[in-house]
Amino acid sequence: MDGSTEKKLKILVDVFGDYVTEKDERLFHCPKCHHRKHKLSINIDKGVFQCWVCGFHGNNQNLLRKHGKPEQVREWKALEGEQSKPLVRRGKDNRPVVSLPRGSMVLKTGMPDMHSKHALAFMQKRGVPYNLIRTFDVRYCDKGFYANRVVFPSYDIRGSINFFVTRAFFNSDMPYLNAPVSKDEIIFNELFVTWERPVFLVEGIFDSLAVLNSVPLLGSSMSHSSLLFRRLVEYKPEVVLMLDNDRAGKKGTAQIGQLLLDHSLTVKHIPYTGKDPASIPKQEIAKVLANRKKFTRLDILRKVLE
């Protein structure tokens, strides 16, 4: 048992009391069903727990948040951070080169572990077909700081990983955890962008999977100092704004639209119903994308007033 595991085990004992060992499992008393026997299996390496009586399951950090003290949660997070913080180094031209979370594995069918099955079920629920999972090299983590998360790598124009987005496939206080790199330094998956064609700007990672030749902003704004803005000014493609239909999305559309118009780019936008591009039914997406309209300075005012 390494030092980190030993410290984590001490935290668990302080919170849940004594435990018994059966084969490779550490079994505690379940805080939900309060069964008289030790039935709560906590896997420290994989970062998950499950009660074999009531089915209570999830992420170890969430379990500690609910039943432990704040200082115990902080200590646990610090221990996991020590184990699996991604390495960021600088390549040529000071560009970021990022290592994926330690232990991340390619997400594919036929894997025997339950984590991959949960991850695939989550992606299916979000409407992402298997061919896109393979095309964009989607992965998952079964242990460490990023346990129980789907991992979306970003490849720069040279084919190096420069960023990643992770999304929890169980309930989490932090649904998204990203690489420790500023989004202004990267263009998410620039390797897959064709600048000679219309480029769609969307907010999130799932929106970008729904819309071909799109770039996720990883938010609803774009800085004039960002690499993405510099690349748009350099190549001057037709830029199509397709942000979410909420207040932040409309404000972002106005801000980005004005920035691009000020630099003489051709800007269009797509009026659509629904919350975001990822929610548009697949059989309708081509028709929606074809319905793009010219974005003018009058549209900026409309978005501000909406």
Per-residue pLDDT tens over the stretch 189-213: 999 999 999 999 999 999 999 999 9
pLDDT of residue 67: 94
Share of the chain above pLDDT 90, in %: 64
- Average pLDDT of the residues in 275-280: 90
Question: Phi, psi (5° rounding) for residue 156?
Answer: -80, 180
Question: What pLDDT sits at residue 123?
Answer: 96
Q: Would you say domain 3-84 falls under CATH 3.20.20.70?
A: no
Residues 159-185 pLDDT 10s: 999 999 999 998 887 899 899 899 999
Residue 4, pLDDT > 80, answer: no
Instruction: Name the pTM for this structure.
Output: 0.74
Give domain 193-306's CATH number out of 3.40.1360.10, 3.40.640.10, 3.40.50.970, 3.30.70.260: 3.40.1360.10
| Domain ranges across the chain | 3-84, 86-192, 193-306
Q: What CATH fold (topology level) applies to the domain 86-192? A: DNA primase DNAg catalytic core, N-terminal domain (3.90.980)
Examine the pLDDT at 155 and tell me if it is beyond 90.
yes
Non-local (6+) Cβ contacts of 25 within 8 A are 41, 43
Q: Does 144 have pLDDT greater than 80?
A: no
For range 101-130, the mean pLDDT: 90
Residue 238 to residue 244: CA distance in whole angstroms: 19
Task: Express each pLDDT in 65-105 by its tens digit.
Answer: 899 998 998 888 878 765 555 678 888 788 899 999 877 99
Which is more confident, 273 or 216? Answer: 216
User: What radius of gyration do the chain's Cα atoms show?
Assistant: 22
**What's the pLDDT at 81?**
64
